[in-house]
Chain A
């Protein structure tokens, strides 16, 4: 499809705010996102070790840790945009996959802690366990844990998606089911007998892949890894979205029956995107947990899952880059404002969401993105 003329190029000459924004912000941001993220990744160790603390360009470990967490959230938002923005599946339960990654990582990290200290985690002692669970020892290596996370998240997503998509459950019904799923998982994880730490979750991690978790290079390494994984995931998702398969997703989103009557098994198309998205969300959870040092049921709370959708909506769905921009903006604002004025933060988030929904139906990115390719647009 290389011979297509660019639509809309003729009317771009008229000066409008959107034309201005798309030329000076959108095009630059789209071309610049990957280099900027790589630059951030390279800059973080430099800013900590080389730039003196008195310099404004110095980054504290707290700041680097924050960037790492935000990158994980951006990856989570990217995962949701793939299914919501492209395939039209609004998941209000992506925390489930984030949680799968987080909890499996937690188990791996506790393996490391136990091997080092030979002290059972508090919650196991409390439950009266005398030995480290044998099944947990399966996840004593990081590479095995990564593979297990990918398989587990894809499997859970596969089973859930197969059942719901085949039954042709769509739209708000599917959203409600996903929300119920994450709520149910949270309630399950609250129970001590489930053996995953109950209300308090798992903490007391010491090492990851042999490196001390508390050490500065490890924390910086995790933040850098989060950045780079986001870059890789963005590149992959962009490739997927721009392929013929991506167009099939858009077609399924806009008119699923038409696709069926063209010979497409639309539930398979949706299932593929759904599983890819679940794996990305799980990987985000894996990187998030060692950076915050704890995993507890709040990671699968309905609130977080809804927030992911808010990030994507604010950034602009169906654009990939919008999800990343939205997650970075909202979480950056959140970290800043919850420190400055914690009481007003919920009102500000609600206000920003309202303004975006009313005035920019395609989100922040929708307002500035390049005019050339508009196929991702939903509101037409």
Chain B
């Protein structure tokens, strides 16, 4: 896969982020491409989640550039605007609306924050309903649409959250530790799900600690260490990089 050149989805150049003197990311440059599943690995505090925060508008960079499709400067936009551009983010801890039905979670997601007055009366369109059914099926919750989301298992909540991103047909999908706390069986199903997320119009980025999981899903692995890019390449390449072994894998 990685031999094929794809268009750049997210372009990051010279990015630095600091929190009160602590440099979380230092002069980081990387590109996330369409059609690719990218894993970002690294020890705790390497800047993985901070990188997602910058891409999604939660954190402002101290310097450097973050562009979508090489035209939209993400560093100047807030979270809702970036979300509406089609950049979906899954949090580390499953974040679904537990008091609502599974289907209502997806309903809110598919509306994408557009038209508050419209939300008073209008029902979803038929294509929107079809899309929700399709996504429910895809994330394995086809028969759970009428359940209160809070009663789902941990793994099902993770899938629902991925589903909430999928209904909006995101161009960039950022998944922060999607298999954390999952059983082996659930992890397997998540691997299948993520493999099906691959699309020429979509860049998928996964932050993960689980090496076996990363090996199964990722086309390309980027290793972060102390806010800098330590290495990038296929899983095999990264596994054999002595610097990577030293700071991360070898421990």
Contacts and interface: CB of A to CB of B under 8 A. Distances in A.
B111 interface: yes
B116 A4 contact: no
B120 A262 contact: no
B111 to A, nearest CB: 7
B101 A375 contact: yes
Interface in B194-211: none
Given A1-B104, A255-B97, A262 B146 contact: no
A197 B78 CA distance: 47
Contacts of B124: 1
B113 A265 contact: yes
Nearest to A318: B99
Interface string B126-170: 000000000000000000011110110000000000001000100
A122 interface: no
A125 interface: no
Contact of A263 (B107, B119, B148, B168): B168
A378 B89 CA distance: 25
A375 B108 CA distance: 15
B80 A260 contact: yes
A261 B97 contact: no
Interface stretch (A130-138, A220-228, A240-248, A333-341): A240-248
A245 B116 contact: yes
B191 interface: no
Interface string B100-114: 110110011101111
A262 B89 CA distance: 8
Contacts of A378: 99
A204 to B, nearest CB: 43
Contacts of A233: none
A193 B66 CA distance: 56
Interface in A237-276: 239-240, 243-245, 247-248, 250-251, 254-255, 257-266, 268-269, 272
B100 A262 contact: no
Interface in B59-97: 78-80, 83-84, 88-89, 91, 95-97
A262 B145 contact: no
Nearest to A8: B148
A270 to B, nearest CB: 11
Interface in A1-22: 1, 4-8
B89 A261 contact: yes
B145 to A, nearest CB: 7
A265 B123 contact: no
A259 B145 CA distance: 20
Given A261-B83, A262-B112, A251 B97 contact: yes
Nearest to A265: B80
Contacts of B95: 255, 257-258
Interface string A352-380: 00000000000000000000001111101
B31 interface: no
A379 B71 CA distance: 45
A96 B128 CA distance: 42
A263 B99 contact: no
Contacts of B78: 260
Contact of A1 (B98, B120, B123): B123
Nearest to B110: A262
A4 B146 contact: yes
B56 interface: yes
Contacts of A269: 116
A5 B83 contact: no
Contact of B120 (A243, A260, A263): A243
B251 interface: no
Contact of B119 (A4, A244, A255, A375): A244
A6 B147 CA distance: 8
Contacts of A251: 97, 100, 108
A49 B89 CA distance: 66
A223 B123 CA distance: 38
Contacts of B103: 1, 4
B147 A375 contact: no
A244 B107 contact: yes
A264 to B, nearest CB: 4
Contacts of B185: none
B64 to A, nearest CB: 22
Contact of B100 (A245, A247, A264): A247
B57 to A, nearest CB: 9
Contacts of B56: 261
Contact of B99 (A260, A265, A375): A375
B193 to A, nearest CB: 19
Q: Which of B119, B145, B146, B168: most chain A Cβ within 10 A?
A: B119
B91 A258 contact: yes
A272 B101 contact: no
A355 B85 CA distance: 50
Contacts of B112: 262-263
Contacts of B97: 247, 250-251, 254-255, 258
Contact of A243 (B98, B119, B148): B119
A374 B146 CA distance: 12
A4 B113 contact: no
A245 B113 contact: no
A375 B102 CA distance: 11
Given A247-B104, A261-B56, A380 B119 contact: no
A376 B116 CA distance: 20
B78 to A, nearest CB: 8
11 contacts: A1-B103, A1-B104, A7-B148, A240-B120, A244-B120, A248-B119, A251-B100, A262-B113, A262-B164, A265-B113, A380-B150
